[in-house]
Every structure is written in structure tokens, then in C-alpha cells.
Chains A and B, each alone.
Chain A
Amino acid sequence: MSDNFERFTNCAVDVLSVDADQVVLDATFESLDADSLDLVELVMALEEEFDVNVEEEELDGVLTIQAAYDLILSKL
């Protein structure tokens, strides 16, 4: 597991109250019981962790861990 994905996973575990082994790339936020508020909260935590900025409209269509992770990686 890459260091970045480990940091991402730690944020997700913390914010979404899920187990680390549930944080896999093809998991959907729906399957993790995360609603839009959870997603915003997760993104805020990721912004802090990775020191990046995510605009509100970039969250459109972010439905999976893969999409969220790619979005953060694209900022690094």
C-alpha cells in the first residue's frame, strides 16, 4: 500500500467510522454508508492532511474511494 493511500485511508477511517479494510478503491461511498455530508467532511480532512484545496464543484460525480483518491492525487 502506498504511503499516500495509507494517509487517505486513515482519514477515511477516522471521518467515516469504517474499518481500514473497507477502504478499497472500488468501494462506493454508498456502500460505506457515507452521505453527502460525510463526503464533504472527508474532503475537509483530506485537504488538511494533504495540504490541498478542493473546490465544491470538483466533488460532483465523486462516488467511489477511487474517484476521491484520484482527485486528491491530482492535486499533489
Chain B
Amino acid sequence: MSRVVLVTGGNRGIGLATAKRFQASGHQVAVTSRSGTGDDLDGLFVVKCDVTDSESVDAAVSEVEESLGPVEVLVSNAGITRDGLVLRMADDAFSEVLDANLTGGFRIARRVVKKMMRARWGRIVFVSSVVGLGGQAGQANYAASKAGITGLARSLAKEFAGRNITVNVVAPGPIDTDMLAALSDAQRTAMLDMVPIGRLGEPAEIAAAIEYLASEDAGFVTGTVLPIDGGLSMG
């Protein structure tokens, strides 16, 4: 069954791989990006959206609804980093990351869930991170935002379970994306040393798990956090 899928931050990395996978499975896929553009977005419906701005979120979702129909599957993936050690982290570096990664997920979920309620069917998948489970030196803001997603997702899962809407979280480990390319070689090596499988993950490996959680088959799975991290967390 073809669904309307919305992937935030879908113009690159895990978001783009996820959008492409849903598209290949025959779904109608919209992606948001801050610029409203991105590479290699053939056939994807691209909308401009700043998840830190409720009006922008509303406008973007309205655009998707008008062109494709109500969003049935939401993949909340948009995220930013502003890494630094806590001692040198300014308030705004902390709050900006929380606002984008955590509150942004809240804004988009709140906007789409009403129509899912009416339809008595919906799937929401949040993209968190392994650092949300174990913490990460230099990423207190990012780790806090990603841990917060778990509480948000599980609360949504409970509020909307009676409407046949499932809400789940994937927690990727180190994945070969632009976000990771920003790390130094030493940081990458240190990270790989902690991964039993001994390599970086591919965005497509996260996309596959997200597609499962959004599928009809996963109707009894809700409020779960699925680490996809080469055994890093073994959570």
C-alpha cells in the first residue's frame, strides 16, 4: 500500500537514504530541508522547512498535504550539531541544538499527528543517536537532545496508541555521512575502536530499519528504541 511519507532533513545523509528507500518501495515521499534544495532529489517532493519555526513547519506540512495528501508516515530526522566541551559551551550552543533536534521533532509531530488520528493509522519514527543512550564528551547538547527524543517519542506512543499510531526511535551509531565527516581522523579512529563490527554504518542500513518500523508489519511495535550501531551500545 502506497503511503505519504515525510522525511525531515531529507536532503542528505540518513534522511536522503530513507527517502530514497521509501520511494523505491512505491511510496509518495516528501523531504524537507532548510534551504528547500539538495542533491540527487529526483522524484522526491522537496519543501523548505525550518523545524525551529512552528509557522515554517505548518507551511511545509500544508504544502505536502495539498500536493500528496495527509502525511501517514513521519520520519523526524532533521538535526544539527554544535560540538564543544561543556566548559566552553555557550548557552545558545546548547539551546539551539535542543531547539532543532528535540523541539523540532515535537513541532513536526504535533503538526502531522492530528490527521493520523483522524485516519486511525500513523507511523512516526524519530532518528536519535547512540550518543543519546551513552552520552558523548564534546556533545552534551547533541546527546541531551537525542536522549530527549526518547522521552518525547514514548509519550507520543502512549498518547496516540489508541489511535493506531506507533511511535518509535532508531539510534544510529557512527554512520558514513557528512555529519561524521566533520570529525577529525583521531575522533573517527577512536569511535571505530568502540564498534565491535569494526566499520562505519551505511545510511541505507538505517533506512531499512526505519522502513520496517513504518510498515504494516510493525503495527505491534511502539515506544521502542532500536540501536543500529554495529554493537556499540548493545542496548
Contacts and interface: CB of A to CB of B under 8 A. Distances in A.
A48 B160 CA distance: 22
A31 to B, nearest CB: 18
Contacts of A15: 118
B117 interface: yes
Interface of A is mostly: helix
Given A37-B159, A37-B162, A37-B163, A44 B117 contact: no
Interface string A22-40: 0000000000000101000
Contacts of B162: 35, 37
B82 interface: no
Interface in B59-117: 114, 117
Interface in B130-181: 159-160, 162-163
A44 B110 CA distance: 13
Contacts of B117: 37, 41
A47 to B, nearest CB: 13
The 9 closest A-B pairs by CB, nearest first: A41-B117, A37-B162, A35-B162, A37-B163, A37-B117, A37-B159, A41-B114, A44-B114, A37-B160
6 contacts: A15-B118, A35-B162, A37-B117, A37-B159, A41-B118, A44-B114
